[in-house]
Amino acid sequence: MTSKVGFKGFGIAEDKLASSAKFTHEGHEYELKHGSVVIAAITSCTNTSNPSVMLQAGILARNAIEKGLKTAPYIKTSLSPGSGVVTAYFAASGVDKFLDALGFTTAGYGCMTCIGNSGELPDHITNAVNEADLVVGSVLSGNRNFEGRVHPLTRANYLASPPLVVAYALAGTIDIDFETQPIGKDTQGQPVFLRDIWPSRKEVNELVASVVNPQLFKEFYGNTLTRNVRWNNLIAPAGDLFEWTETSTYIHYPPFFKGMTKDCPTDIPKIHNAHCLANFGDSVTTDHISPAGNISKTSSAARFLIEKGVEVKDFNSYGARRGNDEVMARGTFANVRLVNKMVERPGPNTLHVPSGQVMPIYDAAVKYMSEGAPTIILAGKEYGSGSSRDWAAKGPFMQGIRAVIAQSYERIHRSNLLGMGILPLEF
């Protein structure tokens, strides 16, 4: 049997379930299979407000190391707390060195892997995944795991508490039953189960009580306005209005208010002889409509940035460039996992109906606008679910889309469409 591609399915044929790929990393040979973990991240969304799970992750790391367990070196492990207070109580408790030993070293503070800033995976891992067409996974303690958001290569993305992120990194796979299968082997070659290293609630509570106190927060946040010397030394122009720079690829004067008057528009054109720009199924999220993470090297946005002299290493992410409408318009419907029924393969492409050409959705939208043809989107249930990203409505507006016809909508996205003058219609 095969499961459907997209929401709740990966489309893996039965004869491909055992697929694997071997590769060499740092002089040693490893093997990837369906379900192998390649990214494990303790991210900022759950860190600052819940010291107990953060310290639980640290104790788990300590217990694992004492048993002789370790994470595979090819797994991209990272720690990005939401606050420097986390660093302070990690140091006070002594768990930081154990997390470091497993690869969970602080990479920075704030949104990282959760928003798609996981960075690139090594070429040999990318090649192994692509050649065997593997469904590899990421595990993160964030609050978003939409398709293509964490990393374009990880088709299986799971949310977990910080200690479980450590556990899955140790296991190296999401295809494990912790109750019945060992997480690894100790120094004597004996199986170690998760229950053998899982910290007790009593131990966690005692550690929290001993290292987390109000003084840590007072010391860290007391100098918020003076701590970042580089930020404070930035030269900012004076004046009431922002000085727009036409050449900036980060901040660009938006077109939304051009031609706008104080009066309500009275001449609203009818949607006549419209073409379908894309035809989607159920559960199309705002991350499908307006990705926040990686800018693919082959995307319309990439071509635009290269033309502006931006090197691939400096592409950054759609989230970082959301102040530039020219980038974000090209990034609309640019999710690499997008399933458009008008074309055969998943990806940000569509059929330009009059010419019969398959092309990037942005290019088709520009072509339709140049021809004076309005466009619509067809979709199934729960269109626009997920985070209420404004660009999920602004982008379609800039692509000339006049209406969306779906079975049901996420409430805020429906309102955002109306705000941009796009009709949200229901079948």
Residues 413 and 315 in one domain: yes
Residues 65 and 205 in one domain: yes
Q: Residue 2 has what pLDDT?
A: 47
Residues 283 and 414 in one domain: yes
Residue 260 pLDDT greater than 50, yes or no = yes
- Could you tell me the two tokens for 248? 């900036």
Residue 253 within a domain = no
Report whether 44 contacts 114 (CB < 8 A).
yes
The number of folded domains in the chain is 2
Residue 267 pLDDT greater than 90, yes or no = no
Residues 344-355: tens digit of each pLDDT = 998 999 999 999
Residues 51 and 199 in one domain: yes
Residue 264 pLDDT greater than 50, yes or no = yes
Residue 231 within a domain = no
How sure is the predictor about 1, in pLDDT bands with cuts at 50, 70 and 90?
Answer: very low
Q: Lowest mean pLDDT: which of 107-111, 183-187, 276-280, 393-397?
A: 107-111
Residue 221 pLDDT greater than 50, yes or no = yes
Which residue among 175, 205, 221 closes a domain? Answer: 221
Residue 130 within a domain = yes
| 201 three-state secondary structure | helix
Exposure string of 327-356, with b = 16+ CB inside 10 Å and e = fewer, is bbbbbbbbbbbbbbebbeebbbbbbbeeee
Residues 52 and 119 in one domain: yes
Residues 279 and 208 in one domain: no
DSSP, res 79: E
Using alpha carbons, select from 397, 404, 176 the residue that is nearest to residue 274: 404
Residues 36 and 159 in one domain: yes
Q: Residue 118 has what pLDDT?
A: 84
Q: Looking at residues 411-427, what average pLDDT do you find?
A: 95
CATH number assigned to the domain comprising residue 54:
3.30.499.10
Residue 262 within a domain = no
Residues 51 and 166 in one domain: yes
Structural domain harbouring 308: 275-426
Residues 43 and 145 in one domain: yes
Residue 5 pLDDT greater than 80, yes or no = no
Residues 358-391: tens digit of each pLDDT = 999 999 999 999 999 999 999 999 999 987 689 9
Which residue among 195, 221, 247 closes a domain? Answer: 221
Residues 339 and 413 in one domain: yes
Residue 316 within a domain = yes
Q: Residue 8 has what pLDDT?
A: 57
| 402 three-state secondary structure | strand
User: What is the distance between the alpha carbons of residues 42 and 75, in angstroms, rounded to a whole number?
Assistant: 13
Residue 6 pLDDT greater than 60, yes or no = no
What's the Cα-to-Cα distance from 84 to each of 44, 105, 294, 363, rounded to whole Å?
A: 11, 13, 26, 44
Using alpha carbons, select from 51, 9, 16 the residue that is nearest to residue 34: 16
| CA 339 to chain CA mean position, Å | 17
Residue 234 pLDDT greater than 50, yes or no = yes
How sure is the predictor about 135, in pLDDT bands with cuts at 50, 70 and 90?
Answer: very high
CB within 8 Å of 157: residues ≥ 6 apart: 137, 138, 139, 140, 145, 146, 147, 149, 150
CATH number assigned to the domain comprising residue 372:
3.20.19.10
Residue 255 within a domain = no
Report whether 379 contacts 340 (CB < 8 A).
no
Q: Residue 394 has what pLDDT?
A: 96
Which residue among 221, 238, 259 closes a domain? Answer: 221
User: What is the distance between the alpha carbons of residues 150 and 97, in angstroms, rounded to a whole number?
Assistant: 26
Residue 335 within a domain = yes
Residue 238 within a domain = no
User: What is the distance between the alpha carbons of residues 255 and 252, in angstroms, rounded to a whole number?
Assistant: 9
Residues 315 and 192 in one domain: no
- Could you tell me the two tokens for 374? 């309005």
Q: Residue 69 has what pLDDT?
A: 97
The vertex-415 CA angle with 402 and 272, nearest 5°, equals: 15
Residues 329 and 394 in one domain: yes
Q: Lowest mean pLDDT: which of 158-167, 256-265, 302-311, 364-373?
A: 256-265
How sure is the predictor about 225, in pLDDT bands with cuts at 50, 70 and 90?
Answer: confident
